[in-house]
Amino acid sequence: MQNELENENPEIQDSSDELYERFTITIDKGQEPLRIDKFLTNRIEGATRNKLQQAINLGMVMVNGASVRPNYKIKPLDSIIVYSDMSPDETDVVPEKMDLNIVYEDADLMIINKPAGMVVHPGSGNYSGTLLNGVSYYLQQQNPAISEDILPRFGLVHRIDKNTSGLLVLAKTDKAMRQLAKQFFDHTVKRQYVALVWGDMEKDAGTIIAHVGRNLRFRKLFEAYPEGDHGKDATTHYKVIERFGYVTLVQCILETGRTHQIRVHMKYIGHPLFNDDFYGGDKIVKGTVYTRYKQFVDNCFQICQRQALHAKTLGFTHPTSGKEMFFDTELPEDMEKVIEKWRKYASTTGNKK
C-alpha cells in the first residue's frame, strides 16, 4: 500500500528560514482506519508524536479542508494537509530578561528588529542569550500561563541568521501562528533585504534561480545547485541601489526563504556579501591588493564585523483583522558607517557610478 506524499524531503529539518513546512498526503484506497497522529508519525520523516499532536491541536492539520482532532481516524481517499514545524525537539527555552527592540506589538503578534550577533533560538552551542530566551521572558511577564507547550517556540514562524540584522514577526496566539506560518509557506509575505556585495554588478536588476541545499561535504555550509538535483527551489530578485566600484549596495527580494539564500545566491553569481566569512566575502574579492587599499578594506571589516546584510522590510496580512501590515527599518549603524566609508572612497578614486 502506498499513500502519495508530496514534499517528503530529508532536508525538511534544515533547509529553510521558514520554520513551517507543508505536507500534502492523499490516502490510498486500501488504507485501514488509523488515528491520524499515529499515521503521520510513521509517514513524515523527522516528525514526533508530540509535535504532530501540537500541530493538530493548533488547527494546522486539515483533512478534506477542515481541522480535525488527534483521535480522528483516516479513511481511504482522505486529503491531508499538514502545516507544521517538523524539526527535532530542541533544548528547553529558558526565559531570560533582556532588551528587545520591539517595533510593533498587539494582542496577536510582535515585530522585533533583531541586532546582528544574536541567535534566534536555542540550539547546539547556544543555550542562552538567544532572541527566544528574551521573548519567552517578555511574554511570560505579560501572561505567566504562557509556556512553550502552549505556544511552541514562543510564536516563532521564521528566522534570520545570527549575523544578519533586521525584522522578525512572532505570533502571540495559536491562531496568529497558524495564519502567519501559512503566509510564509505560500510566499505571500513581502521581505526586502539590503546587502553590500563585492564587485560591480553587471546588471541594474536581475533574478537568481538556483536550488539551495546543504553542501554535501561541509554540513554547516549551503550551496547553490542550478540543475535542481539537490536542495530546494530558491528565487532571489535583486536591484542595484548604489555602485561604489569594488562593492555594490543592492536590494534583495525573496520569493522563497531558504537558509542562507541571499548569501549563497550572491556567491553563486560571483558577488559574495561583504565580510561574509562563510562564503568568501571576508577577504579582498575585487580591487588591486596594495598596501593602502588593503588597509582601507581591513578598516571596513573592523567597522562591519559580519556579513553586511539587513532584513529591512516586512509585509504581511494581519492574521485577525485582515489588514495589510508593512514595516520598515533604518540600516544599522555598522552598515551605515561602512557604506559611507565606501561612498567616500569611491568618490575620491573615481570609482563611484
- For residue 16, name the pLDDT band (cuts at 50, 70, 90): low
Q: List every span in the chain annotated with CATH 3.30.2350.10.
A: 102-185, 190-349
- DSSP string of 85-134, one letter each residue: --SPP------------EEEE-SSEEEEEEPTT--SS-BTTB-SSSHHHH
**In sequence order, which ranges of the chain are alpha helices (DSSP H)?**
36-43, 49-57, 131-142, 174-185, 261-268, 291-303, 333-349
Strand partners, 253: 192, 237
pLDDT at 126 over 90: no
Strand partners, 316: 325
pTM exceeds 0.85: no
pLDDT digits (tens, 9 = 90+) for 276-294: 999 999 999 998 878 899 9
- For residue 8, name the pLDDT band (cuts at 50, 70, 90): very low
pLDDT at 103 over 50: yes
Among left, alpha and beta (phi > 0; psi -120 to 50; other), residue 307 is beta
pLDDT at 9 over 80: no
Calpha distance 251→238 (Å, rounded): 5
pLDDT at 336 over 80: yes
Three-state DSSP state, 346? helix
C-alpha cell at 39: 499515521
pLDDT digits (tens, 9 = 90+) for 20-61: 666 788 888 888 888 888 888 887 766 777 777 777 877 778
pLDDT digits (tens, 9 = 90+) for 159-204: 899 999 999 999 998 888 888 988 888 888 999 999 999 999 999 9
- Report which residue type is found at 283: K
Note the CATH number of domain 190-349: 3.30.2350.10
Closest CA to 214 of 198, 196, 230, 190: 230
On the CB side of 335, how many CA atoms lie within 13 Å of its CA? Answer: 27
Calpha distance 210→233 (Å, rounded): 6
Tell me which residues are annotated as active site.
161
pLDDT at residue 113, as a whole number: 97
Note the CATH number of domain 4-84: 3.10.290.10
**Residue 70 to residues 78, 158, 252, Cα–Cα distance (Å):** 15, 26, 41
Instruction: Give CATH superfamily name and number for 102-185.
Output: Pseudouridine synthase (3.30.2350.10)
Q: List every span in the chain annotated with CATH 3.10.290.10.
A: 4-84
**Residue 213 to residues 86, 220, 256, 280, Cα–Cα distance (Å):** 17, 10, 13, 18
pLDDT at residue 15, as a whole number: 44
